[in-house]
Structure 1
Amino acid sequence: MTEPSPHPAPNLSEYQLGESVGYLLSRVKSTMSNLVTQRSMAELGITSQQGSILFMVASGKCLLAAELAREYGIDASAVTRLVDRLEKRGLLTRVRSNEDRRVVRLALTPEGHAIAARMPGIFNGVLDSLLNGFTAEEVGFLKSMLRRVLVNSGDQTGLARDAASNFDSKS
């Protein structure tokens, strides 16, 4: 068995983590998620992920658990646990399709709709704070670059539709 080295490998110590686009994107995502959770917990008693799921169902973007799994890049069992918690809280229900009994759609309860309707205000408030001092042009350029990253990844779902509607808005 090899003893762990008290010093990092030379090439690791030279790596500038703060200059890594991947690291910066990850930190921004984590920061946004934490700030949204702080607000959504204080105002609504739910996490950012729970609020986001309610919003996605309310908007019609994700009506199946499999769609949520793809959107969030998490496995089906994790989505099942999230949906179970939201269902237990009375915020959404599972509805079996009449056309295909194997399909189970997600539907919000009135309380779930009320929470989903408040999420854009929380999302926008957090983004307005994080983008403080950015010009509208800078925000538009940032969104344009992020869309290009998604296109390069092969993920083009909804980008063309969203591009025109979001280019001039700050968040």
Structure 2
Amino acid sequence: MMNASTSLSSEVRDYPLDEAVGYLIARVRSNISNEVSQRTMNALGITSSQASMLFMIGTGRCQVAADLARYYGIDASAVTRLIDRLEKRKLLRRVRSSEDRRAVRLELTPEGHAIAAQLPDVFCAVTDKALAGFTPEEVGFLKSMLRRILVNIGEPVEGTR
């Protein structure tokens, strides 16, 4: 019987995955997201995806479901399901636009605002843990490189903190 590793071509089997930048970025993102989820779930009862969406709505960067779908690169139906869950928990509400009745804006409820106000501390704590031992110069350089990657792939870059 052939096992999975013997059925793979040498190009696949011998690929230096641990040296691949994309793989490393994906692992960092996944681990940070998991850490945020653990903290937000324990403290606030929401996932990192829900926390991130509440935060983006609260900051005004995303005002409609289509904005969230574009920002996160996920399909509209997935965003709708997340919005439904947040609305059911009374953390946000859908509001019809007075200018365009077809448009539905998203706004946080007072409970949603209260949770969103706690998120910067969670995000900073996770980031501080991930960047422990980095100098301020290294953090600045890392942010600069990440912004360059975003520009290279055609993503607009906001802020330069």
TM range (shorter): over 0.9
In 2: Cα distance, 1:72 partner to 1:80 partner:
13
Write out aligned runs for 1:147-158 (5 A): 147-158=147-158
Matched, 1:81 2:88: no
Go from structure 1 to structure 2 and tell me whether the alpha carbon gap of 1:62 and 1:5 turns closer, same or farther (over 3 Å shift).
closer
Question: Taking structure 2 as the reference length, what is the TM-score of the superposition?
Answer: 0.96
Name the counterpart of 1:169: none
Structure 1 position 13, deviation (Å): 1.8
In the alignment, structure 2 segments of 5+ residues that lack a partner are none
Q: Which amino acid aligns with 1:13?
A: R
Q: Give the SS at the match of 1:28.
A: helix
Q: Contact conserved, 2:39 with 2:122, CA < 8 A, in 1?
A: yes
Write out aligned runs for 1:1-171 (5 A): 7=6, 8-158=8-158, 162-163=159-160, 166=161
Q: List per-residue Cα deviations over 1:74-122 (Å, max 9, x = no partner).
A: 0000000000000000000000001000100001000000000111100
Q: How many residues align?
A: 159
Structure 1 position 4, deviation (Å): 8.0
In 2: Cα distance, 1:130 partner to 1:38 partner:
15
In 2: Cα distance, 1:49 partner to 1:66 partner:
16
Question: Taking structure 1 as the reference length, what is the TM-score of the superposition?
Answer: 0.90
Root-mean-square deviation (CA, aligned residues, Å) is 1.2
Structure 1 position 52, deviation (Å): 0.6
Q: Contact conserved, 2:147 with 2:157, CA < 8 A, in 1?
A: no
In the alignment, structure 1 segments of 5+ residues that lack a partner are 167-171
Q: Give the SS at the match of 2:156.
A: coil
Structure 1 segments (4+ residues) deviating >6 Å: none
